[in-house]
Each structure stands twice: as structure tokens, then as C-alpha cells.
Structure 1
């Protein structure tokens, strides 16, 4: 199966993203209540803590993904990204989450994960797994990675790069400082 050179493919956990956005929405409601009702240092401190929890929910549930492009595979983890050129990828498999193998090591990607319920069904041999089970989706992602390896692996793309999630880390640091200052001013 050949990919279109101009397209990228992104794989992620839909259920995690939905849960993350629900947590963030609840946090927004809490922040709105604080803004409308409390105008004290305690309110600022509580609002900062809620905002930190919202950023952590984003980092843990919404942010992780796997992006395949003709040049690289990008493993977007909770607080850092791994940009891996196809010539560096030697394989991929799924244990509990996707693992991409390179000569530099094995990189884990929580954007593609297996649901324990599907693993139990597979081991026990109970009810048949549905076509949209996490096992089927994970197998599709591994297959797409292998297809990209075959198609783009000959092109030298350089070394594996690691980028930290600077906006998220900065937001957490700034909110923590605001919470500490507000706690000291109470």
C-alpha cells in the first residue's frame, strides 16, 4: 500500500482524548466559578491549581499521538516529542503501547495503546474481538509503520531528535509560581 507523498497520518487514542477534553471542560467551569465568585489570593491559588491540573490532563490524555509523514515518524509523548527519520526505524511492535525500534534504542508511544479488555478477550478466547478493537487498530498502525519503512527507509533523514513540550512545561511552571505567590499572600 503506497501513501500519498503530501499526506500525513495521525494515530491517537480517541477515548483518552474524549476523557481529556471532558476533564478540561470541567476545569473551565471551575475556573469560571472562581473568576465570577472569588477575587482573593485563595481564589487565585485554587484557580492556578485547577489550571495546572487542566494542563496535566491535556499532556496525559490529549497530547499523545503518532504521526507518520514521508520524512519522519513523530512520537508525541506526554512531555516530549521524538522525531525519527525513516532510515533510523528498524521495526515496530505493540506490547501495552506502541514501541518503535531504532539503533539508538526503543521508543514508546502512548498515543497507540491496547485496552486490557481486548487483551483478556484475546488470551481467553472468549467473545470475538470487534473489527475496531484496540488490537486491530494497533496492528493497523504497525502495518502502516512497516509500509512507511519500506517506502521511505532508503532516504537518509539524519538522526533522531528529541523536543520537549515547551509550551506545556512553561504553562505548568508559570501557574505553579502564581499558585505559590498567591499562597504566600493569603
Structure 2
């Protein structure tokens, strides 16, 4: 199941700016008057690129394979087997193999943290004849789940739970596969006795080498992978091209 988490406020601000920028871009094309229009287009392009990379790009995507973190300029992917720790301060930090990635969104402000702490406190006792609105079971469950937590705290919990579940499943699958392998190949002692010392040693060496290579390959594939984001680089290059065009015009 694919889950996407981002800052709703940043997304709203980002799309509002995109609509504003599109309207002004059309206006600049229709009323083009040389250098002033190019300077305005350069300013508009730089601001639009900044809004795109800081408001629309940052997101956390959880899939069956792992968690993808899209930050302003880079993408980071961590498979579930490689997630070592997830912590939250003002932002979510995912640690994998001694390396870590800090998620740009969602983030937690001091005001949101204080509001969550107040929400997590028990409700004050009401008077005998005072009434309160009746909430549905779904509303009560949602309030209980988010009591004392910010959005970032809840997202970090979702990442931790899915990583632990995937690692437990992989561990159980690996444990179940071991007896079958031993049954097919027989015990190590029997193999050495029947095939001779040289063949037995070669078999043991081969199995050890395969185990080491498999573990090394797994460690390399299961670690944190960070790459540059093509869409962010394209947006910045286009903005830079508009700035250069404004100076040349």
C-alpha cells in the first residue's frame, strides 16, 4: 500500500503561487516590452523555482519496497530492511547504516508541539449539568491516536511500524528457508566424508563465500541511497536561464 505524507499548508501555498505565476507569465508574453519584461520574467522564474523545490517537491512516500524521501534538491530511498531508527525533533530523521536523512516535510513547529501537548492532557472535569457534543467512534479513535502527537510524530510512527513489520516478515522467511537448505544439501560432516576432504573443503569454502557475498550485497542494497532530483535541477536551470536572458537582453 502506497502512502504519501507532505505539508498541507506548503502544498496549498505552492499551488496558489503556481496559478499566480502562470497568470503573470501569460501577461508578460502578451504585453512584452523588451528588457523590463525580461527582468520581471527572471524574477518570476526564480521565485517559482524556489517555491517548487521548497513547497511542492518535499514529500515522504511509503511503498511496499521502502520509504522515499523527496527533499528540495535530492531524493533519498531506504528499503524497509535498511531502516535502523526514526527520530523526530522539528523534522523527521531516518537513520540507515550509520547514515541519516532529514525529511524536509512534514515538520513540527514549536507552536504545533505545544498545541499537541495541551491536547494530550486529560480533559477537565465538567459540572453535573453541563453537556458536551457527542462524537462518533471514528472521531474518538482519531483523537486518541493523535493525542499529544504532532503530524510529524504520527508519520514517524507509521514509518517505524512498517519497517518493523517488514523486517519481522523477512526474518521469519529467512528462518523458514534454512531447514529446507540443510535438508537438501545434508549436514556438513556427511558431505565432507562422502566427497573427500578436498571436495568438502571446497564446498564449505564455496558456501562461506556465498554467505559473505550475499550478506555484503544485502548490506549494500539495503542501505540509504541519495540521488539528485532531476525535476529540481531542471527548475533551477530554467530560472538561471531566465536570469541570464534578462542580463543579455
- Whole-Å separation in 2 of the counterparts to 1:163 and 1:39: 41
1:127/1:82 CA distance change after superposition, 3 Å: closer
TM-score (normalised: structure 2): 0.63
Q: 1:45 offset after TM fit, Å?
A: 3.2
The one of 153, 156, 161 equivalent to 1:147 is: 161
The one of 72, 78, 85 equivalent to 1:78 is: 72
The count of aligned residue pairs is 178
Task: List runs of 5+ in structure 2 lacking aligned partners.
Answer: 123-141, 172-217
Say if 2:13 is the partner of 1:19: yes
Q: How does 1:112-131 map to 2 (within 5 A)?
A: 112-122=106-116, 125=118, 131=143
TM-score (normalised: structure 1): 0.82
Larger helix fraction of residues: 2
For the pair shown, which has the larger CA radius of gyration, 1 or 2? 2
Q: How does 1:71-110 map to 2 (within 5 A)?
A: 71-110=65-104
Say if 2:32 is the partner of 1:38: yes
The alignment partner of 1:112 has SS state of coil
Cα root mean square deviation, aligned: 2.6
Q: 1:109 offset after TM fit, Å?
A: 0.4
Q: 1:161 offset after TM fit, Å?
A: 1.4
1:102/1:82 CA distance change after superposition, 3 Å: same
Larger strand fraction of residues: 1
